């Protein structure tokens, strides 16, 4: 490296810290009468220089720069990412979680001591008693019908016997062998038996009607109890089968009898977002207690111009990138973006002549950690897939030295050196610019610190001078 280049780089790094300091004059002639080394386009960027100048690198990538539309926007939560928990009944609330705490599904959120639950327990007890009474009534019909059937059978036998007896006596009387009073008594007994049979049939009809009635009562009582169990399950936030199950403390009684308060649990994982009550407070039914969010369930909403509509369509491939480039020599922009398909809003803004562009992450992908609701970023939409990608670097890697575009490529053979190059630029999208020659995919180009290196190696910028602590540059030694 030539001595003027080293001197200029030293001025850039240390001048602002040194302030105005008198420098000894230097002879124009080199010591020993030898000539200065020939200029070179390589600059030393050892670890100390990289640290002092804050130098970072960006890799040359193959990108579809010319056919990418870039639109600003912001992240927002998906409608399914937020969940509200409201009081199912009035009562005294006791919080069991803290705001901004991460929770899993099933985590207890708050406990509610509600008079409505006591009333529900009483209704459940009455409903169970009604079911038992209806069941007892239905169970009693069976033995009654069996006894009545036996009675009916005996009476039918008596009727058959007396009918046969009367028929026999009538035949004997016709032949002159039977007395009239005997025939009359037989007929009277037959009539009495038939009367008993008619009463038996009437009683049987009553029993069948009673059987249908008790069955209807049992069905109504059972249905009411089932509905009460569902209502109670909704109130306490547990499954109806769990309410019917035996209590852990006493297997002889159902669980609902031992529940003293309503404990509400999380239905989905997330983070406690808003808490609208305090422990010990009395709240009304349907009061908003707290809400949770799943911060990773986001989508991106950008505002595009209606003039871009001919280039946009539902289902286009798109991606979201951070508003500021990721720093660090080993960082990759791919880690700070996510991709998906574009959705155009069904309506546009006629006054501003804009249209909302919405991008939800593709199925199976997750948004990067920085993608939180309200964070600004950029939507990049590939408007055309014709043609191959071109080599490109971030536009920030390019510095202007007069009319020349300058980039610094890290020497692949010596990572402690950077090669100054006049960039052969192509199209840019406002963030990335095509490099037509001089670089290969994967080459590292100076990103942060490119301006300082350009100043240090410029032939058009005055190098004789010094920096003040406030960052201003002054010609001369004083």
> What's 428-470 look like in SS3?
ECCCEEEECCCCCCCCEEECCCHHHHHHHHCCCCCCCEEECCC
117-244, CATH topology level: Helix Hairpins (1.10.287)
Within 10 angstroms of residue 449's Cβ, the number of other Cβ atoms is 21
Q: Is 247 helix (H, G, I), strand (E, B) or coil?
A: coil
The residues, ordered by sequence, that sit 6+ positions from 419 with a Cβ below 8 Å of its Cβ are 41, 42, 43, 408, 409, 410, 411
Q: What is the pLDDT of residue 460?
A: 53
| Domain limits, the chain | 3-63+391-475, 65-78+297-387, 80-114+261-293, 117-244
- CA nearest to 408, candidates 65, 66, 50: 50
> Taking the domain 65-78+297-387, which CATH number applies?
2.40.30.170
CATH 2.40.50.100 is the classification of domain 80-114+261-293: yes
Tell me 325's DSSP state.
P
Question: Quick check: do 65-78+297-387 and 117-244 share a fold?
Answer: no
C-alpha distances out from residue 367 to 60, 68, 78, 152, 414, Å: 24, 21, 12, 81, 37
Beta 338-349 vs 288-293: how paired, if at all?
unpaired
Q: What is the pLDDT of residue 468?
A: 54
Within 10 angstroms of residue 118's Cβ, the number of other Cβ atoms is 12
Strand order in the sheet with 262-265: 262-265, 108-113, 91-95, 282-283
> Taking the domain 3-63+391-475, which CATH number applies?
2.40.420.20
The residues, ordered by sequence, that sit 6+ positions from 227 with a Cβ below 8 Å of its Cβ are none
Within 10 angstroms of residue 155's Cβ, the number of other Cβ atoms is 19
Q: What is the pLDDT of residue 337?
A: 67
C-alpha distances out from residue 442 to 56, 332, 364, 388, 410, Å: 15, 11, 28, 17, 11
Between CA 379 and CA 306 the distance in angstroms is 16
Q: Is 17 helix (H, G, I), strand (E, B) or coil?
A: helix
Q: What is the pLDDT of residue 388?
A: 62
Q: Answer whether 0.85 is exceeded by the pTM.
A: no
3-18 and 450-457 helices, crossing angle to 10°:
120
Please report, in tens digits, the pLDDT of each residue of the chain (478 residues total): 444 444 444 444 444 444 444 444 444 444 444 554 545 688 888 888 889 889 999 999 888 776 778 899 999 999 989 999 999 899 999 999 999 999 999 999 999 999 999 999 899 999 989 988 888 888 888 787 787 778 778 778 777 787 887 777 777 767 666 666 777 777 787 788 778 777 777 777 887 888 888 888 889 989 999 999 999 888 888 888 888 888 888 888 888 888 888 999 999 999 999 999 999 999 999 999 999 999 988 999 999 999 988 888 898 888 888 876 544 433 455 556 678 889 999 999 999 999 999 998 877 777 788 888 999 999 988 776 545 678 899 999 999 888 889 999 999 889 899 999 999 898 887 778 889 888 988 899 999 999 888 888 876 544 444 445 554 545 555 5
The residues, ordered by sequence, that sit 6+ positions from 319 with a Cβ below 8 Å of its Cβ are 337, 338, 339, 340, 359, 379, 380
Between CA 256 and CA 272 the distance in angstroms is 29
Residue 38: exposure state from Cβ atoms within 10 A (0-12, 13-18, ≥19):
exposed
Between CA 405 and CA 422 the distance in angstroms is 6
Tell me 81's DSSP state.
G
Token pair recorded at residue 30: 């080199």
């Amino acid at each position: 490296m030539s001595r003027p280049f080293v001197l200029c780089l030293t001025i850039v790094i240390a001048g602002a810290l040194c302030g105005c300091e008198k420098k000894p004059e230097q002879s124009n002639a080199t010591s020993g009468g030898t000539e200065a080394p020939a200029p070179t386009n390589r600059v030393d960027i050892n670890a100390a220089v990289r640290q002092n100048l804050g130098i970072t690198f960006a890799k040359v990538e193959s990108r579809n720069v010319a056919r990418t539309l870039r639109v600003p926007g912001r992240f927002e939560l998906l409608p399914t990412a937020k969940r509200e928990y409201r009081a199912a009944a009035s009562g005294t609330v006791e919080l069991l979680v803290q705001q901004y705490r991460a929770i899993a599904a099933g985590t207890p959120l708050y406990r509610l001591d509600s008079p409505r639950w006591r009333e529900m327990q009483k209704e459940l007890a009455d409903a169970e008693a009604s079911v038992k009474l209806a069941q007892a009534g239905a169970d009693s019909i069976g033995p009654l019908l069996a006894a009545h059937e036996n009675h009916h059978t005996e009476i039918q036998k008596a009727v058959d016997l007396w009918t046969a007896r009367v028929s026999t006596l009538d035949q004997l009387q016709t032949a002159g062998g039977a007395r009239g009073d005997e025939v009359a008594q037989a007929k009277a007994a037959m009539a009495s038996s038939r009367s008993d049979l008619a009463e038996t049939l009437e009683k049987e009809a009553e029993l069948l009607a009673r059987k249908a009635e008790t069955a209807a009562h049992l069905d109504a009582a059972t249905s009411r109890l089932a509905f009460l169990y569902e209502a109670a399950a909704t109130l306490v936030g547990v499954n109806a089968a769990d309410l019917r199950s035996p209590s852990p403390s006493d297997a002889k009684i159902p669980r609902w009898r031992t529940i003293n308060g309503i404990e509400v649990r999380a239905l989905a994982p997330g983070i406690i977002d808003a808490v609208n009550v305090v422990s010990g407070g009395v709240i009304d039914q349907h009061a908003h207690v707290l809400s949770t969010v799943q911060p990773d369930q986001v989508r991106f909403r950008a505002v595009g111009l209606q003039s871009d509509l001919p280039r946009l369509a539902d289902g286009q491939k798109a991606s979201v990138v951070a508003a500021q480039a990721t720093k660090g020599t080993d960082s990759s922009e791919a880690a700070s973006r996510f991709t998906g398909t574009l959705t155009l809003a069904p309506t546009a803004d006629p006054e501003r002549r804009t249209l909302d562009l919405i991008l939800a992450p593709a199925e199976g992908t997750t948004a990067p950690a920085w993608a939180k609701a309200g964070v600004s970023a950029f939507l990049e939409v590939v408007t055309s897939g014709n043609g191959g990608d071109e080599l490109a670097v971030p536009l920030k890697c390019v510095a202007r030295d007069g009319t020349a575009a300058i980039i610094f490529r890290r020497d692949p053979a010596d990572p402690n050196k950077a090669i100054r190059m006049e960039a052969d630029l192509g199209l840019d999208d406002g963030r990335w610019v095509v490099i037509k020659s001089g670089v290969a995919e994967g080459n590292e180009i100076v990103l942060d610190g490119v301006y300082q290196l350009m100043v240090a190696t410029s032939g058009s910028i005055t190098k004789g001078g010094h920096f003040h602590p406030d960052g201003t540059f002054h010609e001369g030694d004083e």
